[in-house]
A and B are shown apart, each in its own frame.
Chain A
Amino acid sequence: MLAPDRNSTPHVRLTGLGKVYGDTRAVTDFSLEVPRGSFTTLLGPSGCGKTTVLRMVAGFVEPDAGTVSIGGVDQAGRPPNLRGVGMVFQDYALFPHMSVLKNVEYGLRRHRVPNAELRERAARALEQLDLTALAERYPHQLSGGQQQRVALGRVMVLEPEVLLMDEPLSNLDAKLRLRLRAELRELQRQLGITTLYVTHDQDEALSLSDQLVVMNEGRIQQVAAPQRVYAGPANRFVAEFVGLANLLSVTVREVGDGYVNVSAAGQDLTACLPDERTPKAGETGTVMVRPEHVVLSEAGAHVPPDTWRASAVIASHGFFGSFERYWLRVEGASEVWLVDVPLVSSGFTGSGSTATNELKGRRTALTIGSAVTLSLLRGTASWLW
């Protein structure tokens, strides 16, 4: 049914997709190529249009503009049941009046698979997902994780070429989510199935994807590998949505190959420079520093030479288990900075962080109002724009 032109074309190609609901532009000029076998994630805040895009691919929403092409075939007007893409829904959408087995068999029956083959394929799918023992149970008798697996198995048994997933892990508790995330990635790699995944959870997006698509207000903000997105966000929205970002206003002094030397608050600083950006000497711009790349020291403590530093006052702090987070008012910066200090090997060079002090029974150093010096780890700043 699908044109098997395997390598030259992207598996799923979305061109200029647009969708308007009333006065709201849900999706605007959305173009994306999903390579065959890749795991592509649409990441964005709720209401950014990511689910609408997914539903246009599945055929539940008809685009107002643009085309959806799967395997080189334009899908315009083709109803969902004839698109040959599998979808895992956020609420799983298991049929509550059917047993696990019947749920898994449902799609096979709709495709008129002969009985013997149907039984065999269903059994194989159940076994693959470790559901054989639950075959006769009904959805309401299953745990969230089991329901999730049934939802996946029900789709995988049809061996679709494209798999769509709409926040499939969002209804699970944190631990299970981590485990299923790993399982999902493993399964996807094994089967090499082209996957389009929607989530608002950046951890999920970063850890699962080959290709990450960050969206906001119906538009694509950036398309790149997760590492690239994290290290070199395309704009302020991406910088602040994917991970946390401290921003620094700078003046360009010198542009090198893959780096840029800038001047920030009168000090020299070297920042990574993504290929596609070409600032010019003398220009002003913005540099980003991730919270985990900042080192805190007691005010006036010794800081290695040619390290960028600034004075700051602690505005607030919070305990996060593996690290302590500080909100800082930095001299010369208009916005509050975030700094994460890992609690295992404290980057604090004075008398240690609050938490380590507490463990030792004396609480001295970092509390609200303390003056500190912050310095940047070498090579961690990134040129933004």
Chain B
Amino acid sequence: MTTGLKRVGRLWRYDPGLLLAYGLAGLFLLVFVVWPLARVALEPTVADWRQVFTTPRWQRAAGNTALMLVLSTTSSLLLGTLYAFAVTRARVPGAQLFSAVPLFLLLTPPFVSGLAFILLLGRRGLFTYHLLGLETSIYGWHGLWLAQTLSFFPVAYLVLRGAFMAADTSLEQAARGLGAGRWQVLRSVTLPLVTPALLAAALFISIGVLGDFGNPMLVGGRFQVLATAVYTQLTGWASFGTSAALGLILLVPAVLLFATQQWVQSATQGRYATVGGRSSSLPPPAVAPWLHWSLFALCVLVTLFVVANLGVILMGALTRLWGVDFSLTLEHARYVLSHVGGLGNSLRFAALASVLCTVLAGLVAFLVKRGGVPGRTGLDLATLLPAAIPGTLMGVAFVLAFSQGPLRLTGTGIIIVVGMAVSYLPVGYRVCAAAIDQLRTSLDESAANLGASKLTAFATVVAPLTRQALMAAFVFCFVQSVGTLSTVIFLVSFDTPLASVTILNLADQGSWGRAAALAAALIIVTMVALALLFLITGRRFKPFQEFTRAGA
């Protein structure tokens, strides 16, 4: 403690800029991460807890959440890993093309899958009812499972693809050379190499599934999960205590998973690290033909699904009344164009949140890795903490923490921007920290030796050299923020509508056309914004590789 104070004193004397940045980052984390969590944790009374645990409806919801957590996480992880294996290791025909497909899904808000499902497979679904003449319903756990799998597998794919690409193929070739069979290579070399990435992806997807709000709302039907229960309790009954309690239950598996992942990661640190850190130019060993073609079939299937998904959204946007009257119309498009408030807000807030998230992620990563400031463990933990918090709980926490007193921010755009930034801060932070880890320490030391203060060294040397990671953090935060629902649904107000929330409400009312039109517009605008960003920066930029480093 005294050495900590001494260090602060020294910073005050020699590097006040860094101290200021440190103070601001610390303050931000205290106010917007620690305080809301403390606030929400203290909200439920004993009576609230008793009610939550004894009400059969909520016991069912908790069971349902656990079921979906296991089902959706497993299937997303499996699909993402197989898909990544297919395009990097098995080298199926058209791998280049297939490798881009899940990225399109990543650019669409998660609940758009749910919306597309209704249009495609719902009671009056294009595929089930009109093509097959079936009277099935996708509403329920099986529909939700499918929608969540499709929503979350791109994350697994992204992390695993990077891990497969970074894993040194010469190790697999060496194992083959030493007499290992194909399966043995896979089991004893390839899988262990990507284990950290698998864990990271599993954690990320689990938290996503726990907090997922849009899909259960759209296709869950009467199958209620905790995330939707929290929402109805808060918005329908204004019962802060029970909604906070329900949200806090989500925290239990989340924190367990988070702690497990952190523990495994530190326990296996170095053991699974890619030897040499550079993939070799050797081709990976061939896989068995049957596996090769099964994986190819899987890729085709997923691609068809994604195309159908995006296609049906576009169709829905141009169709008069889905399921009843399939004639073309521009009515919905006109509606979207005249009610662009939500769309503009989504873009503006997401952009601001991404700037905030990127600056904070880069700065905190620098402070923790190279800043030499006291309290680095706390800083690190506070920044990673939101990764363990399902979005729904975060939303409730923000509402509770910022609806009164000097920090009254509800109803403003600020709270939405901050909510978005905090939600994606852990990913951005991991990406930046991994990039800084790769940077030789002699670089910032030589900057210091030549007269740069730490903050100057960060601005002139570390930040420019990790710009790929900073860009990746920005793009990730932007893409996710534009379509996010879980946290922001609690924070929007009449003055600050968001496209994602509007889409959900429209779909809820059965205005499929308008919902689809707004969703299509959101997707298109996101892509245009990203294309512009890539054009302006002008460099060949590979944000996806940055996630590998962070995952592994």
Chain A residues within CB distance 8 Å of chain B: 58-60, 77-82, 85-87, 89-91, 93, 95-97, 106-107, 110-111, 154-155, 158
A59 to B14, CA, bound (A): 13
Contact check, A110 vs B451: say whether CB atoms are below 8 A apart: yes
Q: Contacts A93-B442, A110-B456; is A87 near B449 (CB within 8 Å)?
A: yes
Check if B15 sits within 8 Å of A79, measured CB to CB.
yes
Q: Which 3 A-B pairs have the closest CB atoms?
A: A110-B451, A107-B450, A93-B442
Within 8 A of A (CB), among B405-454: 440, 442-443, 445-454
Minimum Cβ distance to chain A for residue B239 (Å): 53
Q: Pick the residue among A59, A79, A89 that contacts B446 (CB under 8 A).
A: A89
Given contacts A60-B445, A77-B10, contact A93 B440 (CB under 8 A): yes
Contact for A91 among B14, B442, B447, CB less than 8 A: B442
CB <8 Å contact, B445 and A80: yes
Within the complex, what minimum Cβ distance (angstroms) separates B210 from chain A? Answer: 39
Interface pair A79/B445, CB less than 8 Å apart = no
Closest CB-CB distance, A363 to chain B, in whole Å? 43
Q: Determine the chain B residues whose CB is within 8 A of the CB of A110 once the complex forms.
A: 447, 450-452, 456
Distance A82 CA – B452 CA, assembled complex (angstroms): 9
Given contacts A96-B465, A97-B465, A110-B456, contact A80 B442 (CB under 8 A): no
With A97-B464, A97-B465 in contact, do A79 and B448 touch (Cβ < 8 Å)? yes
The answer, among B440, B450, B453, B465, for a CB contact under 8 Å with A155, is B450
**CB-CB < 8 A to A80: which residues of B?**
445, 448-449
The 13 sampled A-B contact pairs (Cβ below 8 Å) are: A58-B449, A77-B14, A78-B14, A79-B14, A79-B453, A89-B442, A89-B445, A91-B440, A95-B465, A97-B464, A106-B447, A110-B451, A110-B452
- Asked if residues A81 and B452 are in contact (CB atoms below 8 Å), the reply is yes
Set of chain A residues within 8 Å of B6, measured between Cβ atoms: 77
Q: How far is the CB of A117 from chain B (nearest CB, A)?
A: 15
Cβ proximity bits B439-478 to A, threshold 8 Å, 1 near / 0 not? 0101101111111111010001100110000000000000
Query: B445 touching A93 by the CB < 8 A rule?
Result: yes
Query: CA of A271 to CA of B454 in the docked complex: distance in angstroms?
Result: 56
Residue from B440, B449, B465 within 8 A of A81 (CB atoms): B449
B447 / chain A contacts, CB cutoff of 8 Å: 95, 106, 110
User: In whole angstroms, what is the CA distance A59 to B452 when docked?
Assistant: 13
Q: A87-B446, A95-B443 are contacts. A81–B461 as well, Cβ < 8 Å?
A: no
A318 to chain B, nearest CB (A): 33
Inter-subunit contact A82/B14 (CB<8 Å): yes
**Chain B: CB-nearest residue to A90:** B442
**Interface-centre pick from B6, B448, B451 (highest chain A CB count, 10 A):** B451
Q: How far is the CA of A78 from the CA of B451 in the complex (A)?
A: 12
Contacts of A91 in B (CB 8 A): 440, 442
Q: A79-B453, A106-B452 are in contact. List 13 more A-B contacts (CB 8 A).
A: A77-B6, A77-B10, A81-B448, A81-B452, A82-B14, A89-B445, A90-B442, A91-B442, A93-B442, A110-B456, A111-B451, A155-B450, A158-B450
In the assembled complex, the CB of B76 is this many whole angstroms from the nearest CB of chain A, namely 38
Given the complex of chains A and B, what is the CA–CA distance between A86 and B449 in angstroms? Answer: 6
In the complex, what residue of chain A is closest to B467 when comparing beta carbons? Answer: A97
User: Chain B residues near A158 (CB, 8 Å)?
Assistant: 450-451
Which residues of chain B are near A81, meaning CB under 8 Å? 448-453
* B residues adjacent to A (C-beta < 8 A): 6, 10, 14-15, 440, 442-443, 445-454, 456, 460-461, 464-465
B452: nearest chain-A partner, CB-CB: A110
B451-A93 in contact (CB<8A) = no
In Å, the complex CA distance between A154 and B450 comes to 8
- Could you tell me if A85 and B14 are in contact, using CB atoms closer than 8 angstroms? no
Shortest CB-to-CB span from A342 to chain B, Å, is 41
* Min CB gap B192→A, angstroms: 28
CB closest chain-A residue, reference B13: A77
Contacts of A90 on B, CB cut-off 8 Å? 442
Residues from chain A with a CB closer than 8 A to the CB of B449 are 58, 80-81, 85-87, 155
Chain B residue numbers with a CB within 8 Å of A86 are 449
- Using CB atoms, name the residue of chain A closest to B465: A97
The residue of chain A having its C-beta at the shortest distance from the C-beta of B445 within the complex is A60
Q: Is the CB of B461 within 8 A of A79?
A: no
Contact B446 A93 (CB under 8 A): yes
Chain A contacts for B465, CB-based, 8 A = 95-97
Query: In whole angstroms, what is the CA distance A85 to B446 when docked?
Result: 11
The CA of A93 and the CA of B450, in the complex, are separated in Å by 11
Knowing A106-B450, A107-B451, the reply to whether A79 touches B442 (Cβ < 8 A) is no
Q: How far is the CA of A58 from the CA of B449 in the complex (A)?
A: 7
Most chain B CB within a 10 A radius of its CB, from A79, A96, A106: A79
Tell me, in angstroms, the Cα distance from A329 to B15 when the chains sit together.
63
Chain B residues whose C-beta falls within 8 Å of the C-beta of A59 in the assembled complex: 448
Q: How many Å from the CB of A7 to the closest CB on chain B?
A: 27
Across-interface contacts of B450 in A (CB, < 8 A): 81, 106-107, 110, 154-155, 158
Chain B residues within an 8 Å CB radius of A95? 443, 446-447, 461, 465
Whose C-beta in chain A lies nearest to the C-beta of B443?
A: A93
Q: Which of A80, A107, A111 has the most CB of B within 10 A?
A: A80
CA distance A86 to B446 in the complex (A): 9
Contacts of B451 in A (CB 8 A): 81, 107, 110-111, 158
For A79, the chain B residues whose CB sits under 8 A away are: 10, 14-15, 448, 453-454
Cβ of A160 to closest chain B Cβ, rounded Å: 9
Nearest CB on A from B467, distance (A): 9
Complex-state Cα separation, A179 to B445, whole angstroms? 28
Q: How far is the CB of A92 from chain B (nearest CB, A)?
A: 8
By a CB distance below 8 angstroms, the chain A residues around B460 are: 106
User: Shortest CB–CB separation between residue A298 and chain B, in angstroms?
Assistant: 53
Distance of A97 Cα from B14 Cα, bound (Å): 27
Complex Cα–Cα for A93 and B445 (A) = 9
Contacts of A106 in B (CB 8 A): 447, 450, 452, 460
Residues of B near A89 (CB, < 8 A) are 442, 445-446
- Shortest Cβ gap from A158 to chain B (Å): 7
Measured CB to CB, the closest approach of chain A to B470, in angstroms, equals 13
Q: Which residue of A lies closest to B18 (CB)?
A: A79
Docked pose: A89 CA to B6 CA in angstroms: 29
Whole-angstrom distance between the alpha carbons of A110 and B451 in the complex? 5
How far in angstroms is the closest Cβ of chain B from A168?
12
Q: How far is the CA of A90 from the CA of B10 in the complex (A)?
A: 29
Task: Give every chain B residue within 8 A of A96 (Cβ-Cβ).
Answer: 465
- How many whole Å from A83's CB to the nearest CB in chain B? 8
Q: How far is the CB of B512 from chain A (nearest CB, A)?
A: 51
Residue from B6, B442, B443, B456 with most neighbouring chain A CB atoms (10 Å): B442
| Most-contacted residue by chain A among B14, B448, B450 (CB, 10 A) | B450
Cβ contacts under 8 Å, A77 to chain B: 6, 10, 14
Q: Tell me the smallest distance from the CB of A262 to a CB of chain B, in Å.
A: 50
Q: Which chain B residue has the least Cβ–Cβ distance from A104?
A: B450
Quote the shortest CB–CB distance from B422 to chain A (angstroms): 31
Q: Cα distance A278–B464 when bound, in Å?
A: 62
Task: Kindly list chain A residues whose C-beta atoms are within 8 Å of the C-beta of B445.
Answer: 58, 60, 80, 87, 89, 93
Q: How far is the CA of A81 from the CA of B454 in the complex (A)?
A: 9
Chain A residues within 8 Å of B461, by CB: 95
Contacts of A60 in B (CB 8 A): 445, 448
A97 vs B467: C-alpha distance when bound (angstroms): 11
Q: How far is the CA of A60 from the CA of B443 in the complex (A)?
A: 12
Give the docked Cα–Cα distance between A111 and B168 (Å).
Answer: 45
Least CB distance from A56 to B in Å reads 13
Bound complex: CA of A218 vs CA of B456, how far in Å? 34
A59 to B454, CA, bound (A): 13
Closest partner residue, chain B, to A55 (CB atom): B445
- Nearest Cβ in chain A — how far from B448, in angstroms? 4
CB distance from A25 to the nearest CB of B (A): 20
CA A81 to CA B450, docked complex, whole Å: 6
Residue of A nearest to B11 (CB): A79
- Kindly provide the distance from the CB of B391 to the nearest chain A CB, expressed in whole angstroms: 37
Chain B residues with Cβ under 8 A from A155's Cβ?
449-450
Min CB distance B100 to A, Å, is 29
- CB nearest neighbor in B for A87: B449
Nearest neighbor of A82 in chain B, beta-carbon distance: B14
A262 to B102: give the CA distance in the assembly, Å.
Answer: 85
